[in-house]
Structure 1
Amino acid sequence: MNEEIRQSAVPSGLALRPVRLSGRLAAGALSLAGLAWVLRAVWEVRLSAAGEPGSGPPDQGDGVHRPLTALEDSYHRVSSVGGVVAFLCALFFLAWLWRVRDNARALTGQRPKYAGIWVLLGWVVPVVNLWFPRGIVADAFRTTAPGRKLPVCVNVWWGLWLVGVFSGVGLIQNDSTDQVIARAYGEVWPLLVSDAAVVGAAVAGVFVVRAVTGAQLERIRQGAAPAVERVGPGGED
C-alpha cells in the first residue's frame, strides 16, 4: 500500500527516489567535514604558537626537506584525514543532490533548469562553478515548494563555500602540506579565515540539506494524503 501511495504522489509518472536517508548521510558528512577543518585550524594555531624551528621550514627548497617535528608530522596526519573526509562528504552530498533534483521533476513534472551532467561538472568547470551548484539546489527547492522563499541558508552556504574554495588556502590550494606549515609559522590568519569559511559552509550546508529534504518530504506527504482517502484502510477503492 505504501508503494501505491508513493506512486500516486508522482504526477509525472517518474519514480521517486528515497531522500530521507540520503539527506541524513549528506548532513552527517558535512558535519564531519566541518569538524575536520576545525581540527586543521587548531593545529595551525599550535604551529603558529610553537614558532618555526631554528632549522627553518620543512620544505627548504631545491627538493630538500628536513625531518619533521612531532607537531608537523601530526599536522600531516590531520590534513590527510581531512582530505579523506572531504572526499566522502563530496560523494554523499552529490548523491543527495542528484536525488532531490530528480525528485523535484518526479513530484511536479517540470524539467530541471540544469541538465543532470551539471550536478557533477558544475563544480569543476570554470566560470559556471561560480553559480551552477547553487542554482541546482535552488531549482530543486523552488520546484518542490513553489511560492516559498528560498531559505537564507542557501545563500550563506554558497557564499562561504566560494570563500573557502577560492581563497587560495582552503579546499583548493596549490601549496603542499609542508608549505602550509610554513605559512602557519609566518602568518596564520589567512589560513584561519579560510578554515572558518569552510567550517561555516559545512554548517550552513547541513541546514540546506535539511531544508530541501524537508520540503520534498512535505510535498510527498501532501500528495499521498488524497491517495490514502481513495485507497481506504482496507486497501480497496
Structure 2
Amino acid sequence: MPTSMPGPTSMPGPTSMPGPASYPRSPIGLGRAAVASLGLVIAVDLFAGYAGLALYDVTGDLMDGATGSGILRRADAAESLNSLAGKVQSGSMLVCVIVYLSWFVLVRGNAGVFDPAEQSMKPWWAVVGWFVPLLNFWYPRRITLEIWDASSPVGARRSHLLVNIWWTLWILSLLADRVSYLEYGDAADDIHAAVGQTLIHEAIHIAAAALAVLVVLRLTRMQHEKALARAGVPVEA
C-alpha cells in the first residue's frame, strides 16, 4: 500500500470549516430602516406636540372664563386632534420598536463576531432587556456600550459620550411619560396641567429620538468600516 496516500486522520473535519457566525452581516440596510422609523417617530411627536399646544391653549382660555359655542367647538376639535395624535403615535412607536430591535439584534450579533469576549450578556438580552421592568433602565445601555466597544477600531476605544447622553434622555423620557399619564379630573385647570406635562414629555422624547438617530448612524458606520477592515479592504479614516 503506498505510504503517500493520506489516512483518515489527515482529512479536514467539519470543525475546520468557518461557520456563518464567523462573518458579520451588513448593518446598512437595517440601519437606514431604523433611522427612517426614528424619523417617523420624531415627525409624529411634532404633530402630537402641535395637537397638545392646541389643547393647552383652549383649556387656558376655559380657565380664564371664556364661554360660548366657539370655545366649545375649539375644545372638541382639540380633543379630537389629540386623540388622533395618540393613535398615530402608538402605530409609529410599534413600527419603530420592531425595526429598531431588528437592527439592534443584528449589530449585537456582529459584535459577537468582532469581539466575543467583550459581550458579557447572552444575545437574547438584546431584545428581552428592553422589556423587563427595572432591568430595562440599564441593560440596553450596557449592551449598547459593549457593542460600541467591540465595533471600535482594533486597539482603540471611542468615547461613550453620545450613548450616555442618548440614554439619559431616554430615561428622562420614560419618567416624563409616567408623570404625564397621572390621573387628573375633568376640570379645565387639571387638564391644562396634564397637557403641559405631556408637552414636556414630547420635547424630551423628540430629543431622545434625535440622539438615537445619531447612535444608529455612528454604530452602523463603525461596524461597516470594521467589517471592511477585517476583509482586508482599505478604509478611510
| TM-score range for the pair, normalised by the shorter chain length | 0.7 to 0.9
Structure 2 match to 1:106: 113
DSSP 3-state at the match of 2:133? coil
Choose from 79, 89, 94 the match for 2:86. Answer: 79
Aligned-residue offset at 1:91: 0.7
Alignment of 1:5-84 (within 5 A): 14-51=22-59, 69-84=76-91
Q: How many residues align?
A: 202
* Equivalent of 1:155 in 145, 159, 164: 164
For 1:144-183, list aligned pairs within 5 A.
Answer: 144-145=151-152, 146=154, 147-169=156-178, 173=181
Residue number in structure 2 paired with 1:199: 206
Greater CA radius of gyration, 1 or 2? 2
Higher relative contact order (CA 8 A, sep 6+): 1
| Alpha-carbon distance change, 226 to 169 in structure 1, aligned in 2, over 3 angstroms | closer
TM-score of the aligned structures, taking structure 2 as reference length: 0.75
What percent of counterpart residues are identical?
Answer: 23
Aligned mate of 1:143, from 141, 150, 155: 150
CA contact (8 A) 1:12 1:105 kept: no
- Taking structure 1 as the reference length, the TM-score comes to 0.75
Q: Which of these residues, 205, 218, 221, is aligned with residue 211 of structure 1?
A: 218
* Equivalence for 1:118: 125
Give SS of 2:232's match. helix
Instruction: Encode CA deviations 1:152-193: one digit per residue, 9 max, x unaligned.
Output: 2211111111011122447x94669x98x9855235432222
Q: Partners of 2:213 and 2:42 in 1: how far apart? A: 10
Letter in 2 for 1:205: A
CA RMSD of aligned residues (A): 2.9
8 Å Cα contact 1:168/1:174 also seen in 2: no
Structure 1 gap ranges (5+) = 1-9, 55-67, 228-237
* Residues 83-124 of structure 1 deviation map (CA, whole Å, 9 limit, x = unaligned): 100111111110011000100112334362221221222122
Unaligned runs of 5+ in 2: 1-17, 63-74
Q: CA 1:50 to 1:226, structure 2 compared with 1: closer, same or farther past 3 Å?
A: closer
C-alpha separation between the residues in 2 aligned to 1:94 and 1:174?
29
The 1:133–1:44 alpha-carbon spacing in structure 2 relative to 1, beyond 3 Å, is same
CA contact (8 A) 1:11 1:108 kept: no
User: In 2 relative to 1, CA 182–168 (structure 1 residues): closer, same or farther, beyond 3 Å?
Assistant: farther
Letter in 2 for 1:222: A
